[in-house]
Amino acid sequence: MDVRLSPSLLSGTARAPPSKSYTHRAILAAGYADEATVRRPLVSADTRATMRAVEAYGGTVEEEGDDRAVTGFDGRPEVPDDVVDCANSGTTMRLTTGTAALGDGLTVLTGDDSLRSRPQGPLLDAIADLGGRAESTRANGQAPLVVGGAIDGGEVSIPGDVSSQYITALLMAGAVTDEGLRIDLETELKSAPYVDITRELLADFGVETERTDAGFAVPGGQSYARDDPYTVPGDFSSISYLLAMGALAAPDGLRIEGAVPSAQGDTAIVDVLDRMGADVEWDRDAGVLTVWRSALTGVEVSVADTPDLLPTIATLGAVADGDTRITDAEHVRFKETDRVSAMATELEKMGVEVTEERDALTVHGGDSALAGATVDGYHDHRIVMSLAVAGLVAEGETTVQEAEHVDVSFPAFFDVLDELGADLTRLD
């Protein structure tokens, strides 16, 4: 599906979708438990992959209205009867690769073309160092993966600058090993707030973790348990698009509900907009953000801990006066697509001057006039949504290709845009 957008003025109230990051972890934590209910999870292409993985390992996930009732495998997964298809979800693959390492037999994990190009080698090496079997079938550190060996715990070192999801996978699996795990980081940890999310959620399921001088540790012999339902908070990665569209196209203000403070690093988008000069207010107690169309000025932003914000910030920079420089971005190249290159390429199609470096992207908003164009979504939900926001304020019509990929994290994105007053047409 393609979507065509024209310049629009927005107003009204939108609700943030539930957090994808918390949903993945909560569904898998419930899988590690005997049983648990996850209240109002995000149900999207990515999180459905994690739900299927929990079922493959011997659990069940049942729909109860907006909730999901999970009967888990109580700490020790079964060996799946078939290949675990993670589709396009890197989070599913990495987190459940840790689960596979607990099994007595071997599990095969794979995904679509994009996922089979993403790096898994450091996690495989860590599992092998713990005595498990962890191999890439093509010997290139990428899926398909063959994993098993019933690891018992121990000490392992792993780089921290490729993906924080490796640490999350090991922490979640390590809690139910006999010995527990000590994880030493070989390099500085990137995307550290995602590990904070993991530790926060594990504590909510009764699992203890520790921050050590060298990295992290999780004691063994623990059980996942939760008596009352776990409620998934709103997703600040998705809120970033709502804030951006408000700051660019809502003169009378856009109200965003579900913005409850949490460990999510992407809450940084509120500070970024404030630094750029946006008129934005956050009632943290009520979980409500309000933002008005504002004159923006370029700033320098590190995305070392917030890689998912790069596409949003790049779009804001295209409209801001002066330069917006996004730094510490090399790891953003290893997402669903190379998001640094994708945003540079597509914004240039829209008349924006950019400078792309290996670990940085500078958007020269003051030298640009945003114009409508036909732009590629790269099969990537974050690229699609960011370019759609740009289309709200570009002169002329903008057609965003492959727009259906918003289903990965914000399935109702274009419905919300429509309700807020955007001039858009879905093209089959």
Question: Amino acid identity, residue 155?
Answer: E
> Which residues are registered as beta bridge partners of 156?
183
Residue 308: active-site member: yes
- 272: three-class secondary structure by DSSP: helix
DSSP assignment string, 386-425: HHHHHHTTSBS-EEETTGGGGGGT-TTHHHHHHHTT-EEE
Flag whether 277 is marked binding. no
Q: Which of 46, 235, 305, 308 is an active site residue?
A: 308
165 is in an annotated binding site: yes
Confirm whether residue 190 is marked as ligand binding: no
Check: CB of residue 288 under 8 Å from CB of residue 264.
Answer: no
Question: Hey, what are 286's tokens?
Answer: 């009520």
Distances in Å between the Cα of 43 and the Cα atoms of 21, 156, 330 are 12, 34, 30
Determine the Cα–Cα distance for residues 263 and 295; give it in Å rounded to an integer: 29
What's the one-letter identity of residue 186? E
Instruction: Establish whether 368 is an annotated binding residue.
Output: no
Can you state the angle between helices 90-100 and 121-129, rounded to 10 degrees? 10
Establish whether 264 is an annotated binding residue.
Answer: no
> Is 335 within any annotated ligand binding site?
yes
For residue 49, give both structure tokens. 């992959």
Residue showing tokens 């845009």: 417
Count of residues in the chain: 428
Task: Identify the bridge partners of residue 258 per DSSP, sorted by sequence position.
Answer: none
Structure tokens at 207: 């699992």
Two tokens, residue 86: 């993670």
Residue 395 structure tokens: 């002169």
> Is 163 flagged in the annotation as binding?
yes
Residue 120 marked in a binding site: no
Task: Give the Cα separation of 180 and 217 in Å (integer).
Answer: 8
Distance of CA 399 to the CA centre of its chain: 25
Structure token digits, residue 1? 């599906």
Report the alpha-carbon distance of residue 181 to residue 82 in Å, rounded. Answer: 28
382 marked as part of a ligand binding site: yes
State which amino acid sits at residue 99: T
21 appears as a binding residue in the annotation:
yes
Of 215, 216, 154, the closest CA to residue 186 belongs to 215
* Contact (Cβ atoms closer than 8 angstroms) between residue 21 and residue 200: no
Instruction: Please indicate if the annotation marks 339 as binding a ligand.
Output: yes
Return binding residues: 20-21, 25, 90, 118, 163-165, 191, 308, 335, 339, 382
> Active-site residues: which are they?
308
Return binding residues for phosphoenolpyruvate: 20, 90, 118, 165, 339, 382
Return binding residues for 3-phosphoshikimate: 20-21, 25, 163-165, 191, 308, 335
